[in-house]
């Protein structure tokens, strides 16, 4: 099966201090603060503003395989 890979944002809960900076900077409103931040993948445009803003290195990017 052919797959394509898309970057996916996730959060390292061991590093996250729940400050909400990532949710505040996201231009698409794709991050919601529950106990920890959560991303709505359907809204995320992969701009990585959240990744850049997090001082705690808690925002991570992984390559997720999607079937075509
Ligand atoms: S900016 Fe970083 S530490 Fe703050 S809530 Fe987001 S992931 Fe957690
Ligand atoms: S990569 Fe950009 S659009 Fe996606 S969750 Fe982070 S700030 Fe929002």
The rounded distance, in Å, linking the Cα atoms of 14 and 25 is 21
Q: Which residue among 26, 39, 58, 60 has the greatest number of ligand 1 atoms within 8 angstroms of its CB, and so is best to mutate?
A: 58
Q: What's residue 1's pLDDT?
A: 65
* Domains observed in the chain: 3-67 (3.30.70.20)
Q: Which residues contact residue 14 at a Cβ distance below 8 angstroms, ignoring those fewer than 6 apart?
A: none
CA 39 to chain centre: 5
Nearest of 22, 19, 52, 17 to residue 40 by alpha carbon: 22
Model confidence at 5: pLDDT above 90: no
pLDDT in tens, 14-46: 999 999 999 999 999 999 999 999 999 999 999
* Ligand 2 near 5 CB (within 6 A): no
Q: What's residue 41's pLDDT?
A: 93
Q: How far is the CA of 53 from the centre of ligand 2 (A)?
A: 11
């Amino acid at each position: 099966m052919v797959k394509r890979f898309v970057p996916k944002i996730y959060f390292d809960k061991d590093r996250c201090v729940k400050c909400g900076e990532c949710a505040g900077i996201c231009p698409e409103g794709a991050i919601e603060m529950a106990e920890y931040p959560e991303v709505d993948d359907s809204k995320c445009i992969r701009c990585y503003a959240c990744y850049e803003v997090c001082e705690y290195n808690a925002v991570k990017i992984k390559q997720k395989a999607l079937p075509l």
